[in-house]
Amino acid sequence: MFLEECEIIENIKISEDKYLLKVKSEKSYKYTKAGQFFMLECKKYLRRPISVHNADKNILEFYYQVKGDGTKNLSEISEIVNIHGPLGNGFETHIKNKNLLLVAGGMGIAPFKFLINKLKEKNNITLIFGGASESAIKIIEYFDTKNIKLYITTDDGSIGDKCNSVDKTKELLKENNFYLIYTCGPEIMMKGIIKLALENNIKCFASMEQRMACGVNACLGCNIEIFDNLDKEKKIKNAKVCHDGPVFDAKYLVI
Ligand code: FES
């Protein structure tokens, strides 16, 4: 991992409180995997963990939501940002000739642009992207969706199908054989997707979100419970989202 001062190429508003930050990286980009994150400096506030949205040549992208003073500060900078990473484990991407389903809810789309770019040449990709309304899914306009199957769902029906992404997943599972499901988004959505994956015997990787203070395995801020093994009396242990995740094999998650 590196500490790097990066020149900002752009830091633009996508919709309401959602922003896309593009920076030039000299070192970190070479080692960055889809699903990892960086701790971004937010001037006088603590660093914030932000997923890597894309890494292409030496440009790193971050899609983030303004949730408080730190991220508000981040949305206002335009010249240099200090980044620390890449951190976390990232998604499995060494997969070929498979039908893969990606299910994202709201800001859970953040790690999927890079993941799609890594997987799409050698696999058939189906993406379900759900949000509250049209503005929540606006970032999809910045994706190259030419060679993937895309299903948009919104709660208010302002664009795409008026349903949630769990219902859409249920529908697609009836007609398709998926080898693997990747999911990222609100906890309630991921629980639904993981349940469907387990019921249908489909391997599933879930990217978990948890409050992170340090991002580097040095505090206890990001603990979640996972199964220690898959024996009958499943023992439970703690895992750190920043260090053991953020991506977990869903069958180990206590949901
Ligand atoms: Fe500190 Fe994970 S955020 S240990």
Q: Which amino acid is at 69?
A: D
> Mutate which of 1, 84, 214, 244 to test ligand 1's pocket (most atoms within 8 Å of Cβ)?
214
- Tell me the mean pLDDT in the region 207-234: 88
Pocket flag, ligand 1, residue 219 (CB < 6 Å): yes
Residue ID of nearest Cα to ligand 1 atom 4: 217
pLDDT at 218: 93
Cα–Cα distance measured from residue 192 to residue 197, given in angstroms and rounded to the nearest whole number: 9
Instruction: Please check the confidence at residue 221 and state whether its pLDDT lies above 90.
Output: no
pLDDT at 40: 96
Pocket flag, ligand 1, residue 215 (CB < 6 Å): yes
pLDDT at 134: 95
pLDDT at 43: 80
Instruction: Please check the confidence at residue 120 and state whether its pLDDT lies above 90.
Output: yes
Q: HEC states along 98-131?
A: CEEEEEEEHHHHCCHHHHHHHHCCCCEEEEEEEE
Note the helical H segments in the chain.
Answer: 69-76, 112-119, 165-175, 187-199
pLDDT tier at 234 (50, 70, 90 boundaries)?
confident
pLDDT digits (tens, 9 = 90+) for 36-69: 999 999 888 889 999 999 999 999 999 999 999 9
> Mutate which of 217, 224, 248 to test ligand 1's pocket (most atoms within 8 Å of Cβ)?
217
pLDDT at 44: 81
First to last CA, the chain: 31
Pocket flag, ligand 1, residue 87 (CB < 6 Å): no
